Structure 1
Amino acid sequence: MSVLTGERDGTEARRGGAPGRRASGRNGRSSAFFVSALDGSPRWVAGALAALQGALLSLLVVVLPAVAAYVATSADPANEGVEWFRSVVVGTSLWLAGHGVPPVVGGAQVTLVPLGVTLIALFTAWASARRSGVVDRSAFVSGTVAYAVVVGVLGASVAGPVAGLRGLVGGALVGGTGMAAGLLARPEAPTWRELTRPWHGRLPIVIATAVEAATIAFASLVVVAALVVTGWVLAGRTTIVAIADALGVDLLGGAVLALAELAFAPVLVVWAVAWIAGPGFAVGEGSHFAVDAMTGGTLPAVPMLGALPGGDVVGGPAVLAPLLVVACGTVAGWYVHRGLRGRQGLRAWSGSAACVATAVITGLVAAVAMLPASGAIGPGRMTELGAPALLVGGVVALEVLVGSLLVVLPTDRLLRAATAQALLRGWQRLRRR
């Protein structure tokens, strides 16, 4: 039974596949799910309710701290005349920002996406679909639509019709991804390889292997970037603490500030990808953080920004950071080598072509990842944050290509044989002369 095709077989198909029936999954376990008053309802109802549950959970995770901060500071004279519902609007705006709907703060649009909120929304959608979803195409579609409608309606209510349209698109991407992952995690769901076999089998083996190798390359790059950010935080912990102390926030204010910074923490990881690759990133107009140069400027008093690489990191061993991307390329190259080894119908250039395709796909994914991590968080200098997507994608592709070729070219049996034959023919021609 497929989440995308909605195919059913055996007894379940004849019985109508009620959501509340027990289904034996791929791991041999039985799964009784959604046994309630809705037992026997159409599958799309279960999918829509699972999506609504996921959206509500992630919304509460963001809104409740904002309400708690209002309640704790309601006696402050500075908050006189501010209604409690304003805190709900602020929390909702942050939640919408995680879905690509930019809020307006102080008359300026905040287009930098809090990727931490996005990850929370993905997790709650995944958990809800995994717990109470139904592995069926109609459930997936209805869940995606329901999630998108929630984001669109809230966006239109808070920021107008244009924000509502952006909410529909962002909600469909986030909700659809979380729902798909959650449904595929259910015991009775098909494996990812089973699900993708129809189109995977139609792709040339070179492209199919490149897609998988690119996934490994980018995942490795993200792990490396996360480790680099951890090093930045440890190196800049003194600055971070000094900024936090200078703000003079109380315990509750510090907790709210920490949660807000966690919402943007994954953006640092994306910036680290640009830093490792070489192009670097900007935090304010005129600034530039790269392995070989650092041009700073006045930054907002935000503790998280104290983790940015300083002048003591520029140069020296840091200029070798792009070799980390090359290393990720070697991992992908080893996967290409193993994926093509022993395959029939390959040419001498098949391994090299797979490396090129791997590099291009990895570069495209890296460029797309730069888009939500680039934008503005305020007026003036703060309208320019992030890294140039096309430049970063191109550099990452080139470095992954170098790394993958370093592995594939020496280990490619067909290429070695073709090269030997070409050299032999050339030598024979020289002797005839």
Structure 2
Amino acid sequence: MSRPPVPPARAATRPRTAATGRGTPPAAPAPRAAGALVERWRDVVDRGRARAGGLLRRSPSGPGRPGRAGGATDGAPRWVSGLLAGAQAALLSFLVVVVPTMAAYVATSADPANAEIGWPRSVAVGAVLWLLGHGASVDAGGGSVTLVPLGMTVLAVFTAAASARRTARPTRSAWLAGIGGYLAMVGVVALGVGPAGPLGAGPGAVVRLVVGAGLVAAVGLGSGMIAARALREATRPAWSRLPAIARVGGTAGAIAASSLLAVAALVTAAWVLMGRAATGDVVAALGLDVFGGAVLAVGQLALLPNLVGWSVAWLAGPGFAVGAGTVWSPGHVVGGPLPALPLLGALPPEGAEGGAARWAPLLVVLCGALAGWWLHRTLRTSRVWEAPLAALLAGVTAGTLAAVATALSGGSAGPGRLAVVGGSVALVGLAVAGLVLAGAFLVAVPGDPVVRGGVRRASRSAWAAIRGTTSHG
């Protein structure tokens, strides 16, 4: 007995309604369909604007997606949103630094011992620290302070990115106006501090402040406006001109430098944990009140990234100094009188050198090996010399980035011995370049099939030449 024919697939898969069970689906309401059409049209327009703008992030709009700028900037030129974002970013990071000192002043204002401390002094302390985070230098006790508290720099970049992402419209005019608004706020703070800030340290200090604040604003506001994918596409004409081996080698060097920075952060955390007893002794010896404790806490948090930069110099081998005549390295520790900063109690004490610490530079070699593994997985070679060249470029890139980190984390912290703080830029850069090159070479070059083939051919030719010479002899 034959089976009945199977109904057509369209009829079998047709959805049925819950009420009638029939195969005709309910028609969508006209308003909902029109709204979906309008939303799709907005998405198409936004994609076109993003492609035309090159490196600007698409501004979200529509139901459930609030726009970047609204309210006060609706109907205004686009640069106005950038100006407001820049001023807002500077004010926000400034308040994050100053508010704790003001709160400490209010809490201790009734203490007779603090009768001579007014609120302008608490604001000035936070303002000077905030300006130092933007690259300013100030005079202190007959010496110059050029050490940049990188924690303040990170805070300023973060607030600028957050402000731009929320407020600024993604246009070049808004970005430039935002930089101008940020610099204007920095100038107001510098004028308010007066001779206690960079204005009292000479024209060079003012130039450092303008350049540093401009870089902070440009990077922070730009990262809030620019999409990473759009930035890559916009800069493609520049980096695509480089040979592929240069791009791959540079990326491998950046991977090695990033992994080295992560290892340095772990080393710093270990130092802080092992030195907590010495840190507690320094805090107890200072006998700080609430105001002094708040200022000290802000200062220590601001200098914590600098300690990570010093750890990079320690891992590389040359080490770092906190005062002239001192050195902290894996194989040699020479201490000396240090500023009464509890964070410095985390530094390795004398006698901690040697032993397992001598092998610390091998961690840099492992970072290079990680970059070499990435090269081995990514690089497609056709000549024997390409893999060694890529490893060399990775080492040069990592060494350059380590030198930049060392330069940013060091400087002068005052007069006399404190004029030397941090690691040697040249020595650290060369050491990291050599160690990363060694690790990348050991992993990437022997594993390259073209190199192995070339070695086999050279070995056969050499063996044939030796046999030929022996037979003739």
Which residue is equivalent to 1:412?
448
Deviations 1:392-425 (A, max 9, x none): 0100100000011111111111111222222222
Please give the alpha-carbon distance, in whole angstroms, between the structure 2 residues aligned to 1:166 and 1:12. 35
1:231 aligns with 2:267: no
SS in 2 for 1:372: helix
Please give the alpha-carbon distance, in whole angstroms, between the structure 2 residues aligned to 1:167 and 1:154. 11
Which residue is equivalent to 1:105?
140
Contact in 1 for aligned 2:58/2:170 (Cα 8 Å): no
Contact in 1 for aligned 2:157/2:219 (Cα 8 Å): yes
Instruction: Indicate which of 267, 288, 296 corresponds to 2:306.
Output: 267
Please give the alpha-carbon distance, in whole angstroms, between the structure 1 residues aligned to 2:49 and 2:411. 53
Which residue is equivalent to 1:4?
none
Cα distance 1:178–1:384, how it changes in 2: closer, same or farther (>3 A)? same
Which residue is equivalent to 1:50?
85
Contact in 2 for aligned 1:155/1:167 (Cα 8 Å): no
Shift in Å at residue 225 of structure 1?
0.5
Please give the alpha-carbon distance, in whole angstroms, between the structure 2 residues aligned to 1:52 and 1:333. 44
Instruction: Indicate which of 373, 377, 397 corresponds to 1:338.
Output: 377
Deviations 1:182-219 (A, max 9, x none): 2235xxx7455434433232211111112221221111
CA RMSD of aligned residues (A): 2.7
Please give the alpha-carbon distance, in whole angstroms, between the structure 1 residues aligned to 2:171 and 2:296. 41
Deviations 1:223-254 (A, max 9, x none): 10110011111111111111111111234532
Contact in 2 for aligned 1:55/1:121 (Cα 8 Å): yes
Instruction: Indicate which of 439, 444, 469 corresponds to 1:403.
Output: 439
Which residue is equivalent to 2:316?
277
Which residue is equivalent to 1:179?
221
Contact in 1 for aligned 2:91/2:185 (Cα 8 Å): no
Shift in Å at residue 273 of structure 1?
0.5
Please give the alpha-carbon distance, in whole angstroms, between the structure 2 residues aligned to 1:214 and 1:13. 31
> Which segment is superposed worse, 386-395 or 346-355?
346-355
Cα distance 1:414–1:38, how it changes in 2: closer, same or farther (>3 A)? same
Shift in Å at residue 35 of structure 1?
1.6
Contact in 1 for aligned 2:59/2:170 (Cα 8 Å): no
1:166 aligns with 2:208: yes
Please give the alpha-carbon distance, in whole angstroms, between the structure 2 residues aligned to 1:358 and 1:58. 36
SS in 1 for 2:389: helix
Which residue is equivalent to 1:35?
70
SS in 1 for 2:71: coil
Over the matched positions of the two proteins, sequence identity in percent amounts to: 47
1:324 aligns with 2:363: yes
Contact in 2 for aligned 1:148/1:167 (Cα 8 Å): no
Cα distance 1:133–1:348, how it changes in 2: closer, same or farther (>3 A)? farther
> Which segment is superposed worse, 375-384 or 316-325?
375-384
Shift in Å at residue 290 of structure 1?
0.8
1:370 aligns with 2:406: yes
Please give the alpha-carbon distance, in whole angstroms, between the structure 2 residues aligned to 1:60 and 1:394. 40
Contact in 2 for aligned 1:283/1:382 (Cα 8 Å): yes
Shift in Å at residue 45 of structure 1?
2.2
Please give the alpha-carbon distance, in whole angstroms, between the structure 1 residues aligned to 2:98 and 2:330. 38
SS in 2 for 1:71: helix
1:297 aligns with 2:336: yes
Runs of 4 or more, structure 1, over 6 Å off, are 11-14
Q: Gaps (5+ residues) in structure 1?
A: 1-7
Please give the alpha-carbon distance, in whole angstroms, between the structure 1 residues aligned to 2:312 and 2:319. 8
Cα distance 1:77–1:320, how it changes in 2: closer, same or farther (>3 A)? same
- The equivalences for 1:205-244 within 5 A come to 205-244=244-283
Cα distance 1:155–1:428, how it changes in 2: closer, same or farther (>3 A)? farther
What amino acid sits opposite 2:395 in the alignment?
A: A
1:139 aligns with 2:174: yes
Cα distance 1:149–1:366, how it changes in 2: closer, same or farther (>3 A)? farther
Which residue is equivalent to 2:326?
287
SS in 2 for 1:294: strand
Contact in 2 for aligned 1:152/1:166 (Cα 8 Å): no
Cα distance 1:155–1:321, how it changes in 2: closer, same or farther (>3 A)? same
SS in 1 for 2:163: helix
Which residue is equivalent to 1:3?
none
Q: TM-score, normalised by structure 2?
A: 0.81
Cα distance 1:202–1:229, how it changes in 2: closer, same or farther (>3 A)? same
Contact in 2 for aligned 1:135/1:184 (Cα 8 Å): yes
Contact in 2 for aligned 1:43/1:139 (Cα 8 Å): yes
Q: TM-score, normalised by structure 1?
A: 0.88
Instruction: Indicate which of 344, 353, 376 corresponds to 1:314.
Output: 353
Please give the alpha-carbon distance, in whole angstroms, between the structure 2 residues aligned to 1:20 and 1:297. 55
What amino acid sits opposite 1:166 in the alignment?
A: R
Shift in Å at residue 355 of structure 1?
1.1
What amino acid sits opposite 1:297 in the alignment?
A: G
Deviations 1:93-140 (A, max 9, x none): 111100110122333221111111111111101111222232233332
Count of aligned pairs: 414
1:150 aligns with 2:150: no
What amino acid sits opposite 1:329 in the alignment?
A: G
Contact in 2 for aligned 1:337/1:412 (Cα 8 Å): yes
Q: Gaps (5+ residues) in structure 2?
A: 1-45
Shift in Å at residue 30 of structure 1?
4.6
Shift in Å at residue 352 of structure 1?
1.1
Please give the alpha-carbon distance, in whole angstroms, between the structure 2 residues aligned to 1:22 and 1:307. 47
